[in-house]
Chains A and B, each alone.
Chain A
Amino acid sequence: MLACLDANREHAGEKYEQIRSGLVKFFEWRGCPFSEDHADETINRVARKLDAGEEFRDLYTYVYGVARMLILEIQKESAKQRAAFDHLPSHEPVAEETDDLEPRAECLKQCLAGLPPESRELLTKYYQGERQTKIENRRKLAEALDVSLNILRIRAFRLREKLAACVDDCLKQ
């Protein structure tokens, strides 16, 4: 499959990662609980077709098609399971994440401290205020940094992802 993505092995690896990340988000945003597993299953199915000698005009379109077929299978299967477990009480959404707020706050404290000061400042300013004030703050911050709001959002998001990964590692310890 890598060879099909790019002649350069390194670039092919990057594209593979990109497809996989996209698939993980696809399954997650479509409401599938095991998005990573489904992404891998999609890639396996495509790889099997390639091994069997099938040729695709556009690999991305094909991958997307396989992913959509898999979603249909998952939905059918989960409908069957729901019917089988009708008598069981339903789970409560979102609430389960509130239990570990305190250790998470501790980890957040440590991870924030580990960020470079300018990153910490950007994050702090980005998340300052509520509603219209927040929007106005972000506009001013983007002006001060001479970037568009979209670029600012992406920068804040990358820092946030770094912070989230750090918090996850910290919680595991």
Chain B
Amino acid sequence: MKNKTDDEELMSKYLLGDLSEDDRLQVEERFLRDPAYLEQLQALEAELNDDYVRGELTAREREQFAQRSSASPEWRRRVGFAKALITGDESATATTAPAKVSPAPPPRWRSLLPQLRLPKPALTWALAAAFLVMSAAGSWLVLETSRLRAQLEQMQAERKAGEQQAQALRQQAAEQRARNDQLAAQLQREQDQQRQWLAEAGRPQPHLLSFILAPGLGRGADESTKLLVPPEVQTVRLRLYLEGAGEYQSYRAELHTSADKLIWSRDRLRAQPIRTGKAVVLSLPASLLTTGEYEVRLKGAVSREQIEEIGDYFFSVSKK
């Protein structure tokens, strides 16, 4: 991998899968348009195959190469061809080897050498070299295979752990959705009841309205957080559903406008049981609420000094 131009370096890195996404896209778009560039890449790939077979890649490059080439049967076939070519080539290049070596039984492919006009001593050295190369390659393959298998097992274990975690999160989200649905249904019933009251002619208008709110629903996220407050109503009762919150000695609620102005607060509130769990109940003077958006911040007192944030409850008011 030495003596290469910058462009060749970029191409080699592409072949080894060692480029940034931007550079990779650049190389790919170029070779799809430019057949000469594609041929250059293929020629470099052929040299990479040779370097791999000869063991001339660095450890990192060898690892990258094995990973890339093993995915493609075509590429593996070309590596096989490089092996055959290099083995023959090593025989062909052994012309300067010393002469005195004990004769070995000739393999079938020995007949290749006369055609390349090789002297006999070179052949024996070539055989020895080929044997050494094949032994080394064999050992390396065994080590490489076991290393890759271990790597794969580790990846599989990590993936399984990830899937379990995702499953747990999905389950948690489903439970959360079910609770929200339940609360929304309860609120809907209460609103229906309220509308029924208002619709009934001749009957005195209610002076108190009651709503249930769930934490975390964003401003304007849900129809169910829109409260219709007729002018005759004097008190609005908000039930703040305590979803998964721990037990606190007491609670503090703060009512803020959408401009984050504190307009009401109350300390030493207690949790009360409701059908679906527990809630903190606030009774607000209806005169405080004009048409607009509001946020109730609920805090829990662990001790006199220690106060914790529990959740934010958003709702909007429409006065008619």
Is A93 touching B32 in the complex (CB atoms < 8 A)?
no
Q: Is the CB of A157 within 8 A of B43?
A: yes
The docked-state distance in angstroms from the alpha carbon of A28 to that of B46 is 14
Assess the B72–A94 pair: CB atoms within 8 A: no
Instruction: Decide if B76 touches A97 in the complex (CB within 8 Å).
Output: yes
Residues of B within 8 A of A35 (CB): 72, 74
Contact (Cβ within 8 A) A29 B70: no
Q: List, in ascending order, chain B residues with CB within 8 A of A44's CB.
A: none
Given known pairs A31-B72, A135-B2, the reply for A112 and B43 (CB within 8 Å) is no
Residue among A63, A94, A102 with most chain B CB within 10 A = A94
Cα–Cα distance between A113 and B75 once the two chains are bound (Å): 25
What 1/0 mask marks residues of chain A from 102 to 117 whose CB sits below 8 Å from any chain B CB? 1011101100110000
Report B50 CB to chain A, min CB distance, Å. 7
Interface of A is mostly: helix
With A35-B74, A108-B88 already in contact, the answer to whether A61 and B50 are too (CB < 8 A) is: no
CA A131 to CA B85, docked complex, whole Å: 16
Q: Which of A1-9, A45-53, A148-156 contacts B (4 or more CB under 8 A)?
A: A148-156
A72 to B209, CA, bound (A): 55
User: Which one, A124, A157, A160, A167, contacts B92 given CB within 8 A?
Assistant: A124
Question: Which of B68, B81, B85, B92 interacts with A31 by CB under 8 Å?
Answer: B68
Given the complex, which residues of B lie within 8 Å of A101, measured CB to CB?
80, 83-84, 87
Structural contact, A28 and B74, CB atoms closer than 8 A: yes
Bound-complex Cα distance A87 to B115 (A)? 51
Q: B253-281 interface mask toward A, CB cutoff 8 Å, 1 = contact, 0 = none?
A: 00000000000000000000000000000
The prevalent SS among residues of B at the interface is helix
| Contact of A26 with B by CB under 8 A | yes
A22 touching B32 in the complex, CB below 8 Å, given contacts A109-B111, A128-B89? yes
CB contact between A156 and one of B38, B43, B148 (< 8 Å): that residue? B43
Known: A64-B28, A101-B84. A129 touches B71 (CB 8 A): no
Is A119 an interface residue, CB under 8 A from the partner? no
Q: Is B131 an interface residue (CB 8 A)?
A: no
Interface residue? A56 (CB, 8 A):
no
Interface string of B82-105 (1 = CB under 8 A from A): 011111110011000000000000
Q: A124-B116, A129-B93 are in contact. Are A25 and B78 (CB under 8 A)?
A: no
Residues of A124-153 contacting chain B, CB below 8 A: 124, 127-132, 135, 150, 153
A108's partner among B29, B35, B84 (CB-CB below 8 A) is B84
Q: Which of B28, B42, B46, B156 contacts A26 (CB 8 A)?
A: B28
Query: Is B32 a contact partner of A64 (Cβ separation < 8 A)?
Result: yes
A164 x B88 contact (CB < 8 A): no
Chain A residue contacts of B87, Cβ below 8 A: 101, 105
Cβ-defined contact, B141 with A95, below 8 A: yes
Per the bound structure, the CA–CA distance linking A124 and B93 in Å amounts to 8
Structural contact, B39 and A102, CB atoms closer than 8 A? no
Q: Which residue of B lies closest to A63 (CB)?
A: B32
> Does any Cβ of A come within 8 Å of B161's Cβ?
no
Q: Given the interface contacts A112-B88, A156-B43, does A60 sit within 8 Å of B68 by beta carbon?
A: no
* In contact, B43 and A153 (Cβ under 8 angstroms): yes
Q: Are B32 and A109 in contact (CB under 8 A)?
A: no
B226: interface (CB < 8 Å) = no
Contact residues in B for A81 (Cβ distance below 8 Å)? none
A100 interface hit (Cβ, 8 Å): yes
Contacts of A124 in B (CB 8 A): 89, 92, 116
- Shortest CB-to-CB span from A18 to chain B, Å, is 5
Q: Is the C-beta of A122 less than 8 angstroms from some C-beta in chain B?
A: no
B56-82: which residues lie under 8 A (CB-CB) from chain A? 56, 66-81
Given A25-B42, A153-B40, 6 other A-B residues pairs in contact with their CB atoms under 8 A: A31-B17, A97-B80, A98-B80, A101-B83, A130-B54, A154-B39
Interfacial residues, chain B to chain A (CB-CB below 8 A):
2-3, 14-15, 17, 28-29, 31-33, 35, 38-44, 46-47, 50, 54, 56, 66-81, 83-89, 92-93, 108-109, 111-112, 115-116, 141, 144-145, 148-149, 152, 156, 159
| Chain A residues engaging chain B, CB cutoff 8 angstroms | 18-19, 21-23, 25-26, 28-29, 31-33, 35, 60-61, 63-64, 83, 86, 90, 92-98, 100-102, 104-106, 108-109, 112-113, 120, 124, 127-132, 135, 150, 153-154, 156-157, 160, 163-164, 167
